Amino acid sequence: MIKSKVGICLIGCGRAGMIHGRNFMNKVAGAQITAVVDAVEEAAKAAADELSVDAWYTDYKQILDNDAIDAVIIACPTNLHRDIVVDCANAKKHIFCEKPMAMNTRECDEMIASCGKNNVKLQIGFMRRHDTGFKEAKRLLDSGAIGDLVQIHSCTRGPSKPRPWMYDLRKSNGILAELNSHDLDSIRWFAGSEVKELYAVGGNFRNPEAAAEYPDYYDSVLMNGVFENGVQFSIDGAAYVQYGYDSKMEIIGTKGVIQVGRSEANSVRCTTPERGTSIQFINSWMSLFADAYLAEDISFIQAILSDVEPAVTGKDGRAAVRLVEMGNLSIKTKNVIRL
């Protein structure tokens, strides 16, 4: 039965989770947040207080039998995604899962199969597909505005120092997963094809203290390759760049170019004789993509209420995880990887 209002439980009350939580508090028609879960009791209590919900838990399994919860937002560490998705799917709850979808493609396959078997929606949190600028760039490309697509260049660079657990690739899958998952999804979306072959290199330039214990850790990565339809691509990622949050894409065609993404935090420019002209740089993905997060949350609820396929599916999430796996393999072996 299609309901008129979807009861939401937030699982994971960190930065990304609370963006979704605040959206579902009062900004998404047809949805109501009814519970929160976080393994840290203080975080769960604080989130419940801020979001004005009475129900908070430290174990997601406590919500599986709750009929007031129709869907879950999963925004906890990646290595927990598989079990939570499978258990929630078996409890007949629709699922929005933040990126990266999982640690490997085997886990992705199990998640997709569980959601399919239980006839529940599975949407992956690639918010750039919901961003106004990226959507307009895709529309221009599809309209033939720059002729035939030739190359795609995409970058994501983050300002913050990685948390210690991120140094361990067995837990984080590296910045290809943590930072560049969005790039990997976006280039597939724009190319309309799957990657045929790729080559990646990585290096640790900003976190030397991690090198002794985690010699495989990299805070900078370059990946290039070619899609099955012949379109060429390159991706660069960097953690702890410090200057700001940098997310841009350049799409080159046979008769033009499209550039999308912005660096300016606002339209204010300050010019003085001593310093010249200064512009405040974007400081966080949370501010740059705030509207896109809201749009994807609205899209998730519409998919449930209208019983249609989500805009970004488990297949898309799996494809990005696959490229992370192959990129890390290329870095490790120093070989071109043919998919």
For the chain, residues classed under CATH 3.30.360.10 are 132-288+320-338
Of 318, 299, 317, 319, the residue nearest 309 (C-alpha): 299
Q: pLDDT of 258-309, one tens digit each?
A: 999 988 988 899 999 999 999 999 999 888 899 999 999 999 999 999 999 9
**Looking at domain 6-128+291-313, which of 3.90.1150.10, 3.40.50.720, 2.130.10.10, 3.30.1490.100 is its CATH number?**
3.40.50.720
Mean pLDDT of 222-245: 97
Q: What integer pLDDT is reported at residue 2 of this predicted model? A: 52
Mean pLDDT of 211-237: 98
Superfamily of domain 132-288+320-338: Dihydrodipicolinate Reductase; domain 2 (3.30.360.10)
Mean pLDDT of 201-219: 97
Q: What integer pLDDT is reported at residue 286 of this predicted model? A: 85
CA 198/CA 226 separation, integer angstroms: 7
**Residue 190, token pair as written in the block:** 């724009």
DSSP line for 215-284: TT--SEEEEEEEETTS-EEEEEEEE---S--EEEEEEEESS-EEEE---EEEEEEEEETTTEEEEEEP--
For the chain, residues classed under CATH 3.40.50.720 are 6-128+291-313
Q: What is the band of 81 on the pLDDT scale with cuts at 50, 70, 90?
A: very high
Residue 1 has pLDDT above 60, yes or no: no
Residue 318 has pLDDT above 90, yes or no: yes
Q: pLDDT of 107-145, one tens digit each?
A: 999 999 999 999 999 999 999 999 999 999 999 999 999
Q: What integer pLDDT is reported at residue 204 of this predicted model? A: 98
Residue 3 has pLDDT above 80, yes or no: no
Q: What integer pLDDT is reported at residue 25 of this predicted model? A: 95
Instruction: List alpha helices for the chain, DSSP H.
Output: 15-26, 41-51, 81-90, 105-117, 132-142, 169-172, 175-178, 181-191, 285-288, 290-306, 314-333
**Would you state the torsion angle of the CA atoms of residues 182, 185, 188, 194, taken in this order, to the nearest 10 degrees?**
130
Q: pLDDT of 275-289, one tens digit each?
A: 999 999 999 988 889
Q: pLDDT > 70: what percent of the chain?
A: 99
Specify the DSSP class assigned to residue 163. Answer: P
Q: pLDDT of 161-202, one tens digit each?
A: 999 999 999 999 999 999 999 999 999 999 999 999 999 999
Mean of per-residue pLDDT scores for the chain: 96
Q: What integer pLDDT is reported at residue 267 of this predicted model? A: 85
